[in-house]
Amino acid sequence: MVKELNFEHTDSITHELIATHSEINIKNVEKTIDDLEFTQEKILVCGRGASSHPEFNPRFASPSTMIQADLYVTVDHHKPKKEYFTKKGNYAVSLIAHPDIQKKILELNGEIFWFSPQYLKNDLPKITSGVITLDNSGLASISLSSYFNAKSILLSGVKLTGLYAKFLEGKKLVFENALKNKTKIFSLDGVLAAKTTFDDWCKF
């Protein structure tokens, strides 16, 4: 089951779909990520590479992680799966996301805060979530955390291994940008960043 889900979500978006989705979505922009406020120095970023995650505030997650979060982050170019989009809350959504995602979030009475990938020309806040055609929601969550000036990020279940390894080029960009912004990144499993425990990270 996991392999099937992973496969579905690792096919790349085309240049044509990037143009189509962004042209549709930009007409619906009311709020951007600049309308959000996160002032905490630490942010927990969760992905579906782990079956459980620590309780922490604030906690960012992709909708497919299927946990309660302070901010749901998606760059997904697929139609929204109803099992993933079940929670009312705040959603940071990329312009390249499937236009039906906006409709689904509004059905849930959620709020949408838009951002643009760095490679599109527009006036929206730019968030790097990968290289063109290879954007990743976990990478977007890391970039957003740094954008909100978090000093320290802890990754839980964000791995980019196996079928997700093709996002590693984008990971390099995201981590370089975070470093420039003086954001330190740690990981519970040590796959993408220096390994630490949740308790130790809380004490840093």
Q: Is 12 a member of any domain? A: yes
Q: Is 125 a member of any domain? A: yes
CA distance linking residue 160 with residue 171, whole number of Å: 9
55 CB-contact burial (10 Å; exposed 0-12 / middle 13-18 / buried 19+) = exposed
Q: Is 41 a member of any domain? A: yes
What is residue 102's predicted lDDT score, i.e. its pLDDT? Answer: 97
Q: Is 168 a member of any domain? A: yes
Q: Is 11 a member of any domain? A: yes
Q: Is 103 a member of any domain? A: yes
Kindly give the pairing relationship between strand 59-61 and strand 42-46.
Answer: parallel
Range of the domain at 106: 2-195
Q: Is 202 a member of any domain? A: no
Integer angstrom CA distances of residue 77 from 13, 71, 74: 7, 19, 9
Query: Per this entry, what is the length of the chain?
Result: 204
What is residue 6's predicted lDDT score, i.e. its pLDDT? Answer: 37
| pLDDT-flagged residues of the chain (< 50) | 1-10
Kindly give the pairing relationship between strand 134-135 and strand 130-131.
Answer: antiparallel
CA distance linking residue 72 with residue 188, whole number of Å: 20
Q: Is 203 a member of any domain? A: no
Helices (H), 97-187: 99-107, 137-147, 168-180
- For the chain, the domain total comes to 1
Mapped onto helix, strand or coil, the DSSP state of residue 63 is: helix
Give the type of residue at 193: A
- Report CA 85 to chain centroid distance, whole Å: 14
DSSP 167-188: GHHHHHHHHHHHHHTT-EEEES
Are 115 and 158 in contact, with CB atoms under 8 Å apart?
no
142: nearest Cα among 185, 181, 92? 185
pLDDT digits (tens, 9 = 90+) for 151-201: 999 999 999 999 889 999 999 999 999 999 999 999 999 999 999 999 999
Are 127 and 116 in contact, with CB atoms under 8 Å apart?
yes
What is residue 164's predicted lDDT score, i.e. its pLDDT? Answer: 87
94: nearest Cα among 16, 29, 179, 159? 29
Are 80 and 101 in contact, with CB atoms under 8 Å apart?
yes
CA distance linking residue 51 with residue 18, whole number of Å: 31
What is residue 173's predicted lDDT score, i.e. its pLDDT? Answer: 96
